[in-house]
Amino acid sequence: MPKRRTFLKLTGAVGGGGLLADSSVAKTTEEVLSRTETPSVEEQPEVRVIGTGGTIASTEGAADDGGYDLSERAEAIVGSVPVLDEFVDISYEQVAQKGSSSLLVEDYVNVAKAARQAERDGADGVVVTHGTDAIEEDAYFNDLVLDLDIPVAFVGAQRAADAVSADGPSNLVTAARLITRREFHLKDEPSGVYVVLNETVHAARDVTKTHTTKLETFDSGPAGPIAVFTDNQLVLYRDPGSYSADLSDSDLDAMSDLTVPIATTGAGADAYLIEQAVAGKYDVDGIVIQATGWWGGIAPEMDDATEAALEKGIPVARSTRVHWGPMNPGYDPEPDSIVVMADLPAWKARLHVIAALPTTDGLGDTETQEAIRDTIKEGGQYGKGTVAPSTL
Q: Which residue ranges make up the site for ligand ASP (CB under 6 A)?
A: 54-55, 99-101, 131-134, 156, 158
Q: Find the shortest distance in angstroms from Cβ 52 to ligand ASP.
A: 9
Q: Which is nearer to ligand ASP, 54 or 345 (CB)?
A: 54
55 is known as an active-site residue: yes
What is the C-alpha to C-alpha distance for residues 179 and 151, in angstroms, rounded to an integer?
7
Q: Which is nearer to ligand ASP, 125 or 156 (CB)?
A: 156
Q: Among the options 55, 59, 129, 306, which is catalytic?
A: 55
What is the C-alpha to C-alpha distance for residues 201 and 285, in angstroms, rounded to an integer?
34
CB contact at 8 A, 349 and 373: no
Q: Find the shortest distance in angstroms from Cβ 211 to ligand ASP.
A: 11
Q: How far is CA 272 from the centre of its chain?
A: 31
Q: Which is nearer to ligand ASP, 55 or 191 (CB)?
A: 55
Which DSSP symbol is given to 174?
A: H
What is the C-alpha to C-alpha distance for residues 303 and 318, in angstroms, rounded to an integer?
11
What is the C-alpha to C-alpha distance for residues 221 and 87, in angstroms, rounded to an integer?
32
CA-nearest of 283, 208, 239, 257 to 357 is 257
Q: Find the shortest distance in angstroms from Cβ 112 to ligand ASP.
A: 19
Q: Find the shortest distance in angstroms from Cβ 196 to ligand ASP.
A: 14
CB contact at 8 A, 129 and 54: yes
Q: Find the shortest distance in angstroms from Cβ 231 to ligand ASP.
A: 25
Which DSSP symbol is given to 389?
A: P
Q: Which is nearer to ligand ASP, 134 or 287 (CB)?
A: 134
What is the C-alpha to C-alpha distance for residues 104 and 254, in angstroms, rounded to an integer?
14
- Which residue is closest to ligand ASP by CB? 131
Q: Which is nearer to ligand ASP, 105 or 305 (CB)?
A: 105
Angle at 276 (CA atoms; ends 267, 258), nearest 5 degrees: 105
What is the C-alpha to C-alpha distance for residues 44 and 90, in angstroms, rounded to an integer?
10
CA distances from 118 to 111, 145, 149 (A): 10, 15, 11
Q: Which residues are annotated as catalytic?
A: 55
